[in-house]
Structure 1
Amino acid sequence: MTKERFRRDRKRLAIGAAGILGVLAFAPAPVGAVTIATVPVAALSAGEPGDTNDGESPRVRGAEDGAPPGRPATDPSPLPAFPPFPSPTLPRPAPSPPAASTAPAPSPAPTATPTASPAPAPAPGFGAYLHYSPRGITDMAAFSRWLGGREVTVGHTYLPGDVWQNIEGAPTWLADWAAWYKAEPGRTLVLNVPMLERTEARVPDAMVARELRRGAAGAYDGHFERLARRLVGLGVKDAVLVVGWEMNGTTYTHRCGPDPRAWRTYWARIARVMNGVEGAGFRFDFTPTRGRDATPWTECYPGDDVVDIVGMDSYDQPYGTDFDRQISEPYGLQAQVDFAAKHGKAISYPEWGLFKNGDNAEYMRRMIRWMDAHPPLYQTISDYCPHGVWQCRMNQRATAVYRQAFKAGGGLPAEDAGEKEQAPMRDCRPVRLGGWLEERLGGRLCVRFNW
């Protein structure tokens, strides 16, 4: 999320909260009631240690600190995530030999040539989006200690989408991420790449369509060739590039809806131009947001010849939606897995985390189990408020589930019936008042309309 957008959203929230409270103050009693949600919000102050458990405590940060450039924080699709956190996967068992028959064999059977057991699938890449700048790299060590020494194998950052120069890889901190990637074998760098400048400028659809057609015709090839040369020169020739993410929504200028055909052609052209640079072997990740959103994401798919990974940004939203619905909804989690299998592609979760349903331990438990059952190439939780765990202390219950599941030597705990989340009340809408006020209230206001 950009700073300007964060301030704008915060102002709207403050005005909206004041308006709701004002209406309630003058409304007759039967109209509604205001209650404090049971989700606890830890009281904390900037700079003080906030975690008495073993491991390192993060600095207290607001959404403005952690959001990546060119990414909104409170729109339909949540903010970015960071290095993927792998779900442990077990090796496939070797096939059992056929049971011996009790009847005598007429003649000795020829000796079967032993077959090698299939190699176990590699564990998913593990990480968390902590910050787009070098601070995100520095914090990985503390994040690892918080998880009992769990190795972070995936770094995730975003290119700013304000001007073409930044999309070409101008930010100096790209070299810091490249250095992290090269420091240890087995690491993966995930880089989100906008397709058009003015990524969050609310460009009208007609102008977006025109820009997509220009890109499809090759007008912007030079920008992506320069980015590819920059990455190859830094020694990151096989990075995972999440190009034009969440194209099925309306947040970004690189959205697909205004001209899906031009979008597909343009995306494929970017992939070919970048991998056409000598030494390049980038992996391209097609990542919509979960659900139908503004455009069915299958209409934007650019083709098997240019896509390596079918990703999905999947946050706990909208309000009141349980995890079963997140799996089964049109263009949801199951649709992603089925589509990827049909096209022979790996899956990924570049962004995921908490959102509209607050500190939802059940979502956290179910999402981790989903990734264990359907192992992604990598997965990266968006670790800043309201989505995260280590850097967002308002989500204490979900954080406990996450930490137990991903810490070194840990594992997902059995579900505790006494800890299970209650389904959100359908006639109660939470009011986000901002972290400062929520901390002092000990929860979030929930407005019920009973007429």
Structure 2
Amino acid sequence: MDWDQQPETPEETGPQTMAIAFRQPKPEEKSRRPVIVAAVLAVLALIAGVTFVIGFTGDEPSGSPASNDLVSERTAEEQGGSGEADQEPAAEPTSGAAADVKVGVFRGTKPAEVGEFEEWLGRDIAYAVDYSNRDQWDDVANPTYMLQAWEGSGYRMVYGVVMLPAHDDSATLAAGAAGDYDDYYRTLAQNLVEYGQGDSIIRLAWEFNVRKGRWNLQAADRDDFVAYWRNIVTTMRSVPGAEKLEFDWNVNNGGETFDSTVYYPGEEFVDYIGVDVYDIAWTEGSYPYPSGCNTACRKLHQEVAWDSITDAGYGLDFWSAFAAEQGKPLSMPEWGLWDRTETDSQGGMDNPFFIQQMFEFIDDPQNNVAYQAYFDVNPEGKGKHQLADLPRGQARFKKLFGSGG
């Protein structure tokens, strides 16, 4: 997610349909899934007919119309029953790794709201995520309002920091590679130290593999991007008191054609390999849910979506393996549910299955997740992530990630 120049207006990130085509989709993956999904849906249709006759009691009563061609997600209390979607999954053994993963959250530049989230969860929130204004170079170097807000909060900060200001068309990666902008990042590091945040994690050019604003990374930019990244890291670490700054090389999850790994700046200049992941999918048989989709149908679509999130050419499984190859811990600086009914309906809505799968991924010690942060803000006009608006997902999140998890 790209939190826009003004901290209250985030920009949406979408699927990685980028100009660079380093890797083509696997033909066998594309050909098998529609056939399998069609067969399973046919079986479900027969089952649905039988359950209508004998009186199905689930999330959506048989024959009830779906609003906007989608099934409304409702709480168990509203349903007046215990449909399959609301039943707790069979208890899965936990490795215990999730308990050691640092928990963070994004609630805007509002320490009090992070505190409220912490109290609700019943567990310490270690990291607070934030994003500064970024119109001009002064916004990048001197985000004073933000640093003052978090001073003395007790949270370790995770900051999204751009490599190019949004409204300075003269700024280029090539100039950054030549060292022209080092002073701005030296000033930023000095400011971090001054406000007691010299141990922050910097998500430099986070989600750099997504086209947004004036940012449109091309294959020819590879050398400049890498050199510029190294300049920034070296410059910021050289500031007295900033030796504990860490840098998160942070991609947006998914896609089949954009090979972000060519922009990896090297072991010396990276502390975490980060992946931002949301419950969205464009794979056939995933989202949106079709009209009249009952509990079992919805579960099938959620499973197809999760498969695409993990198994895509550059999905979660790929990034877990890549991080291990580089000897770096994995991070998940942004993740969350996504109800996109007001835009394109490509999200899973109030989907506790996604929360469960994310927990199991984080809990798997082979994935070596160091920290994870839920994106608990609703970008205006771009759908819902906030758990308070997604009660079934909220309940599962608290159960798995809270003090009782």
Q: Normalised by the size of structure 2, how large is the TM-score?
A: 0.67
Cα deviation 1:105-142 (Å, max 9, x = unaligned): xxxxxxxxxxxxxxxx98111121111x2x2x101222
Q: 2:112 aligns to what? A: 138
| C-alpha deviation, 1:2, in angstroms | 4.1
Alpha-carbon distance in structure 2 between the residues aligned to 1:250 and 1:169: 25
| C-alpha deviation, 1:273, in angstroms | 0.7
| C-alpha deviation, 1:362, in angstroms | 1.3
Alpha-carbon distance in structure 2 between the residues aligned to 1:293 and 1:237: 37
Q: 1:240 aligns to what? A: 201
1:152 alignment partner, one of 125, 135, 144: 125
3-state SS in 2 of match to 1:157: strand
Cα deviation 1:227-246 (Å, max 9, x = unaligned): 01111122221211000011
| C-alpha deviation, 1:156, in angstroms | 1.1
Residue correspondence of structure 1 range 419-434 to structure 2 within 5 A: none
The answer to whether structure 1 residue 366 and structure 2 residue 357 are counterparts is yes
1:193 alignment partner, one of 151, 157, 161: 161
- Which letter maps to 2:235? V
The answer to whether structure 1 residue 407 and structure 2 residue 402 are counterparts is yes
Question: Does the Cα contact within 8 Å between 2:5 and 2:166 map onto a contact in 1?
Answer: no
Residue correspondence of structure 1 range 1-400 to structure 2 within 5 A: 1-2=3-4, 35-40=68-73, 90=96, 123-131=100-108, 133=109, 135=110, 137-147=111-121, 149-181=122-154, 187-198=155-166, 211-257=172-218, 259-281=221-243, 282-292=245-255, 295-319=258-282, 320=286, 321-355=304-338, 356-373=347-364, 374-385=367-378, 386-391=383-388, 393=389, 395-400=390-395
Alpha-carbon distance in structure 2 between the residues aligned to 1:287 and 1:407: 26
3-state SS in 2 of match to 1:259: helix
> Pairwise CA RMSD of aligned residues?
2.9
Question: Does the Cα contact within 8 Å between 1:312 and 1:349 map onto a contact in 2?
Answer: yes
| C-alpha deviation, 1:174, in angstroms | 0.9
| C-alpha deviation, 1:217, in angstroms | 0.5
| C-alpha deviation, 1:4, in angstroms | 8.5
Alpha-carbon distance in structure 1 between the residues aligned to 2:394 and 2:138: 38
Q: 2:300 aligns to what? A: none
Question: Does the Cα contact within 8 Å between 2:158 and 2:203 map onto a contact in 1?
Answer: yes
Q: 2:291 aligns to what? A: none
Alpha-carbon distance change, 255 to 264 in structure 1, aligned in 2, over 3 angstroms: farther
Question: Does the Cα contact within 8 Å between 2:189 and 2:242 map onto a contact in 1?
Answer: yes
Question: Does the Cα contact within 8 Å between 1:291 and 1:331 map onto a contact in 2?
Answer: yes
- Which letter maps to 2:225? W
3-state SS in 1 of match to 2:252: coil
Runs of 4+ in 1 over 6 A off after TM superposition: 3-10
Alpha-carbon distance in structure 2 between the residues aligned to 1:403 and 1:294: 36
| C-alpha deviation, 1:150, in angstroms | 1.5
Q: 1:18 aligns to what? A: none
- Which letter maps to 1:378? Y
Cα deviation 1:209-254 (Å, max 9, x = unaligned): x701011001111100000111112222121100001111101545
Alpha-carbon distance change, 340 to 2 in structure 1, aligned in 2, over 3 angstroms: closer
Alpha-carbon distance in structure 2 between the residues aligned to 1:155 and 1:173: 12
- Which letter maps to 2:329? A
Q: Normalised by the size of structure 1, how large is the TM-score?
A: 0.60
Alpha-carbon distance change, 272 to 243 in structure 1, aligned in 2, over 3 angstroms: same
Alpha-carbon distance in structure 2 between the residues aligned to 1:3 and 1:168: 14
Question: Does the Cα contact within 8 Å between 2:203 and 2:249 map onto a contact in 1?
Answer: yes
Length, aligned pairs only: 296
| C-alpha deviation, 1:349, in angstroms | 0.4
Question: Does the Cα contact within 8 Å between 2:176 and 2:182 map onto a contact in 1?
Answer: yes
Question: Does the Cα contact within 8 Å between 1:250 and 1:294 map onto a contact in 2?
Answer: no
Alpha-carbon distance in structure 2 between the residues aligned to 1:241 and 1:279: 15
Q: 1:421 aligns to what? A: none
Q: Where do 5+ consecutive residues of structure 1 fail to align? A: 11-32, 43-87, 92-120, 182-186, 412-451
Q: 2:301 aligns to what? A: none
Alpha-carbon distance in structure 2 between the residues aligned to 1:167 and 1:8: 17
